[in-house]
Structure 1
Amino acid sequence: MPASRLLQAVVAVPLALLAGAVPTAEADPGSDQEAPAPVQVLSLTTVAGEATDMAEAGLGEAQAEAQDSAGGTGQPSSVTPAGSTARSAEVVPAAETESATPETDAVLLTEPLEVSDFLVAGFTWAGDASLPEGTQIYLRVREGSQWSDWYLNESVDSGPDDVAVGGTGEFITGGADAVQAAVLGAPEDLPADLQLALVPGNPEGEQVLEDSDVDTAEADPTPVSPQSPEPGQTGTEEQESQDGGSGEDSGESGGAASTPDSQEVSQQPVASSSDPAGAGVLPAVLGATTTANGLPVEVTTRAEWGANSAYMTWTPTYASASHVVVHHTAGTNSYTSSQSASIVNGIYYYHAVTLGWGDIGYNFLIDKYGRVFEGRYGSTSAAAGKMVVGGHALGVNTGTMGLSMLGTYSSVAPTDTQLQAVGKMAGWFLGRAGVSSATGSANLAIRTTARYRAGTTVSLPRIIGHRDVGYTTCPGDVGYSRLGTIRSIAQGVIGSAVGSINTIYLNNSWSARADIEFQYGRSTSQMLSGDWNGDGIDTLARRDGNKVGFRNTNSTGGSLRTFTYGRADDEVLVGDWDGNGTDTLAVRRGNTYYFRNSMNGGQADVTISYGRADDEVVVGDWDGDGRDTLAVRRGNTYYIKNSISSGAADRVVPYGRSSDTVLSGDWDGDGRDTLAVRRGNTYYVKNTIAGGQADITQAYGRASDKVLVGDWDGDRDDTLGVVR
């Protein structure tokens, strides 16, 4: 009997498109966006780490005058960086350590330089991602006619987990037209190929500025901004990794809470040109604000703020997620409402191109006026309980949503409207993930070593600051002190999110019209499909948190029975694990699966490890033996296992694109499940486990619909259903 399941499909289309809507190009900035301009690049050291003339032009007379006025000796003082164990993903006001200042203690100091207008700045270098101990980089900018204080720019503590780049966090301005940079430390420790990138609001191309391209600006000395207080006891990396490693175990299902040693699929993924429906290009989105997926506030989409799709080279991947990480971007806080979208565009370029990440690291960005901007591609359209993996917090990019407040909140508070928007977005995300308490804690797996050691599982609040998982003061001391407010706002959203009643549309054939329509569950429920009573007809179940209810008929009504299994943040799978003709549940934590052979709570009947924690999992009866088993997906390659066991894959096949949403079902009634991929509201169905062209191509529903797969009429063929 073909077993069906709701495939915890990760929606890889960027924005919900209504049926029949015509997509536009991703970047459609409109008439009010500034003209394209190149990113200006100032070279401060050579590839050998030697200072350029531009980098030393401010030394000498200006430095001597500053030291003479302070009674200095003319010799650089030794500088101990504040929080020397910290690697910050932000720009924080510089420390007044041993009275060190850029004018008196720099080993590199540019002159104040006139440049073209820019909104975002940042430094990059070759070699190690972190700066040598004792090396500090400072920046000050001129906005209008006013020079800012000097700000310390520290090594970035974010980005994709597999990309190690030397660079600082983004520094945002309210529109600057002059800049001065300084480096303190030992001359022999200067990083190689140190560059300062100045990004305009509509970047296009780059221009390396030579001495002849810039003029010297008038600038009076300005102080170093006072360092914000150190966060609470940070400990050492070794201590944090050991103290936080065990996490908590709710005891709701079998197995330990901590992540076991990985038993990965032995056959490695390989690239393939196989594609069921054309070249692997990203789908387009509509240019507008959106409240798709039940968003609690209007979100300015990537199309609206002008994202250039040519810069987006980081293919989206999705993972179960139920934590929120709050950030700030840092800078002068002087931007206007009309500049916010251009600042986001500048951050996008800095992350995607300058730092080489391939996309913006944050999932969403919120300005001081309370406006929300879509960040990482696919964040707006991620399925409930999922989020596209970002690059906002090393170690926990997977399993979290990153919200970044535009501005520096070390000594000033975020605005009330900004906090409201942050809290509402957090509540929306957590509520859809089945989390009932925004003030509670849950286990979070650490993927790469930052504050905690990779491979550990740590119990952390559902809403945390970046400093809770990284060596950084982000989101600033005052910003961090407002997490309680954010949690309260998020809880209000969760508490009020009873959700509208779902309408289910089931199709018994490959056509564009529904054959069955009824109501069950709510928009906040996770909807599952399976044959719960063994009658050959698939029906629906709803999951709210870790509570599951189900019906044995496809009709309007309440649940026949409810029970609890696993935890609210578990990924849930459906299949006939023991071949008895009825579907039951399994839950996934990392790469460990806990299978239950009855529709009841209790301990798992079978526990196995398979694949990697960041794999996408698909369920099916791949060999027609009546038992459902697992497959894991990496990119567009599937590693299929024909038994509920660990070990190497039995088959490896490519199909579709890595950005597709994947489904499985017995589409032709031959007793074997095969794959289908979804792009928007179009489905490409394959009747064999192989690459190549689709056997069926069908448009059904809307791109924003949640999709179900099942045999709704007992004819042994699986077909589609959608939930609205």
Structure 2
Amino acid sequence: MKPNRVCGTALALALVLGASALWGPPGAAAGAGAAPADGDAALYRLALAPGARGEAGLARQRTRPFALLGVSWTDPSAELGGTVEARTRDAATGRWSPWTALEPVEPGLDGPRPGVRGSTEPVWVGPSDGAEVRVRGADALPAGLEVSLVDPGRDPVAPPQDSGPVPARPRTPAAPAVPGPPSTAPRPAVVPRIAWGADESLNDEGPVYLPGGRIKAVFVHHTADARPYDCTQSAAIVRGIHVFHVRTNGWRDLGYNFLVDRCGTVFEGRQGGIDRPVRGAHTYGWNAESAGIAVLGDHTAAGASPAALAAVARVAAYKLGQYGGTLDGTTTLTAGATQTNRFGVSFTAGRAYPFRAVSGHRDGFATECPGDALYAQLDEIRTARPWPWPGVIPVVPTPARTG
């Protein structure tokens, strides 16, 4: 695995589309698979054609509507050894986006699984109807290169926010019989999976919980950061990431435990219970004792909004507080892999290492994630007071009924 990878941003993938293309009628749109019905998300795959040695691409063409994309290949252990670049055509204006580079995802994030593929991070490009991709490697490229285009569909009607247990949706595994432990911090409002429109037919394996049953640290990430977004698009972004992680990567579910948008809305990620120690696929080598919170957007140059930071603090305080941890605390984690982090610190599998209870992805793995600007804001999260008075859990009175 290569150092200096960027979580959710680009390292090597750009979708290139020419502004002078001649577009055929809608029926000529490319892409495998049927159009989504009743607002369901859909994914279309297009194979990349080989070019000169170490090159492959997707010729400029009309596509079915999509808003999130990424590139994948057959062997998850194969490395690109070069760059993947892309740009897309805005469905409303017809303008082409700048080139965007995508970072390959480290293999093994969700453990050994049949059918898992190598891939880049998915990126949000907004409503689009055309794409072109070019891949340039230093040597031979991995086999089976293809681009996945995700149409996230429409939002469910009036998605509610959750501040308590969520009733099971049809096809959703039954809620755990034993709830998670109480926390020293209040449970934050969270948009449950049923409200953001998770397609639970994709998740037929059920959740997996941390082997020790205890969350000792929270890792902060950024994701889907290629294009600025409006908060009305947040649920669609989460649906797109979910579909990409399952149908392209071959993971059991969405990788992050929670996702936060710039308006401070928190979305439930991987299924298994907001109050439970669910094992996610977010920080290679450290998933067995931690939870992952991803902030939507690019935070390499610009920091996360105050609302997003406050939301991350509320979620982290709640999850750490279930197991006696605090936002400004420290802990020890046992490495699940031999590797180095962004700062050159080496880890050996099976050995214990000190970590801040709230850490950035780059603290555990060689990546730029969660971006320089958001990483610099982690101390604001560690010193936050997400409830009115330190050590006091607010009690919300039952609303009075009229009449």
Q: Given the two structures, how large is their TM-score scaled by the length of structure 2? A: 0.73
Per the alignment, in what secondary structure is the counterpart of residue 55 of structure 2? strand
C-alpha distance 36-330 of structure 1, shift in aligned 2 (>3 A):
closer
Amino acid at match of 2:348: R
Secondary structure of the 1:429 match is: helix
Asked if 1:355 corresponds to 2:249, the answer is yes
Q: Do the aligned partners of residues 333 and 414 (structure 1) sit closer, same or farther apart at CA in structure 2, a change above 3 Å counting?
A: farther
For 2:356 and 2:175, locate their aligned partners in 1 and report how far apart those are by CA, in whole Å: 36
Partner of 2:111: 161
The one-letter code matched in structure 1 to 2:60 is: P
Query: Structure 1 195/495 Cα, relative in aligned 2: closer, same or farther at 3 Å?
Result: farther
Per the alignment, do residues 128 and 347 of structure 1 end up closer, same or farther by CA in structure 2, a change over 3 Å counting? closer
In structure 2, the residue matched to 1:202 is 153
- 1:129–1:166 contact (8 Å) kept in structure 2: yes
- Gaps in structure 1 of 5+ consecutive residues: 1-32, 46-50, 60-75, 77-105, 204-279, 286-291, 502-724
Aligned partner of residue 147 in structure 1, secondary structure: coil
CA contact (8 A) 2:175 2:273 kept: no
Alignment of 1:85-164 (within 5 A): 107-133=55-81, 135-143=82-90, 144-145=92-93, 146-157=95-106, 159-163=109-113
Give the Cα–Cα distance (whole angstroms) in 1 for the partners of residues 42 and 318 of structure 2. 38
Deviations for 1:77-120, whole angstroms, at most 9, x for unmatched residues?
A: xxxxxxxxxxxxxxxxxxxxxxxxxxxxx833433322222222
1:374 aligns with 2:326: no
- 1:388 aligns to 2:278 (yes or no): yes
Equivalent residue of 2:314, what SS? helix
Partner of 2:360: 465
2 CA distance for matches of 1:142 and 1:486? 37
**Structure 1 184/297 Cα, relative in aligned 2: closer, same or farther at 3 Å?**
same
Q: Offset at 1:323?
A: 0.3
SS in 2 for 1:342: helix
The runs of at least 4 aligned residues of structure 1 exceeding 4 Å deviation read 292-296, 491-495
The equivalent of 1:41 in structure 2 is 45
1:315 aligns with 2:206: yes
The amino acid across from 2:370 in the alignment is P
Structure 1, residues 374-418: CA drift from partner, whole Å, max 9, x if none? Answer: 001024131xxxx11100111111111100011111112211111
Q: Which has the larger radius of gyration?
A: 1
Q: Where does the alignment leave 5 or more consecutive residues of structure 2 unmatched?
A: 1-36, 155-170, 177-181, 341-346, 396-403
Task: Report deviation, 1:450.
Answer: 4.0
Q: Distance in 1 between matches of 2:290 and 2:388?
A: 17
Contact preservation (8 Å) 2:78, 2:142 = no
| Equivalent AA in structure 2 for residue 313 of structure 1 | D
Partner Cα distance (1:123, 1:450) in 2 = 25
Cα offset, 1:479, TM superposition: 1.3
Partner of 2:226: 332
Q: Say which SS state the counterpart of residue 204 (structure 2) adopts.
A: coil
CA distance in 1, matches of 2:136, 2:224: 21
1:408 to 289, 295, 298: 298
Change (3 A) 1:191 1:301: same
SS at match of 1:350: helix
Deviations 1:123-178 (A, max 9, x none): 11012434243x21112223343322212212113731334631111211222222
Q: Quick check: 1:121–1:171 contact (8 Å CA) kept in 2?
A: yes
Counterpart code for 1:129: S
Structure 1 letter corresponding to 2:280: G
- Give per-residue Cα distances to partners, 1:333-378, cap 9 Å, x unaligned: 4222222111111111111221111100100000111111000102
Measure how far apart 1:422 and its partner are: 0.9
- Equivalent residues of 1:366, 1:404 under 8 A apart: yes
Greater CA drift, 337-346 or 141-150: 141-150
Say which SS state the counterpart of residue 251 (structure 2) adopts.
coil
Residues 317 and 38 from structure 1, CA distance in 2 versus in 1: closer, same or farther, beyond 3 angstroms? closer
Among 128, 144, 152, the residue aligned to 1:176: 128
TM-fit CA distance, 1:284: 6.7
Map 1:6-21; keep pairs closer than 5 Å. none
Letter in 2 for 1:352: V
Output aligned runs, 1:521-536, within 5 Å: none
Compared with structure 1, are the counterparts of its residues 381 and 420 closer, same or farther at alpha carbon in structure 2 (3 Å cutoff)? Answer: same
Q: Distance in 1 between matches of 2:391 and 2:132?
A: 50
> Which residue pairs with 1:528 in the alignment?
none
Pair 1:485 & 2:375 matched: no
Alpha-carbon deviation of 1:425? 1.0
Query: 1:420: which partner in 2?
Result: 310
CA distance in 1, matches of 2:353, 2:287: 14
Matched residue of 2:59: which SS?
A: coil
Q: For residues 147 and 412 of structure 1, do their structure 2 counterparts lie closer, same or farther at Cα, with a shift above 3 Å needed?
A: farther
- Structure-to-structure mapping, 1:285-684, within 5 angstroms: 295-318=186-209, 319-382=213-276, 387-436=277-326, 438-451=327-340, 452-489=347-384, 491-493=385-387, 496-499=390-393
Provide the aligned C-alpha RMSD in A.
Answer: 2.8
Give the conservation status (yes or no) of the 8 Å contact 1:428–1:493. Answer: no
SS state of the match for residue 472, structure 1?
coil
* Cα distance in 1 between the residues matched to 2:135 and 2:388: 47
Q: Give the corresponding residue for 2:20.
A: none
SS of equivalent residue, structure 2 residue 300: coil
**Contact 1:157/1:472 (<8 A) preserved:** no
For the residue of structure 2 that corresponds to 1:148, the secondary structure is: coil
Instruction: Answer whether contact 1:43 1:194 (CA < 8 A) is retained.
Output: yes
Q: Are residues 356 and 301 of structure 1, via their aligned partners in 2, closer, same or farther at CA, if it must alter by over 3 Å?
A: same
Inter-CA distance 167–108: structure 2 relative to 1 (3 Å threshold): same
Alpha-carbon distance in structure 2 between the residues aligned to 1:284 and 1:336: 32
1:93 aligned partner: none
Whole-Å separation in 2 of the counterparts to 1:284 and 1:310: 16
**Structure 1 residue 495: Cα displacement:** 6.2
Residues 394 and 337 from structure 1, CA distance in 2 versus in 1: closer, same or farther, beyond 3 angstroms?
same
Alpha-carbon distance change, 37 to 427 in structure 1, aligned in 2, over 3 angstroms: closer
**Residue type matched to 2:333 in 1?**
L
Does the 8 A contact of 2:61 with 2:131 survive in 1?
yes
Q: TM-score, normalised by structure 1?
A: 0.42
How many Å separate the matches in 1 of 2:237 and 2:216? 28
8 Å CA contact 1:431, 1:497 repeated in 2: no
SS at match of 1:160: coil
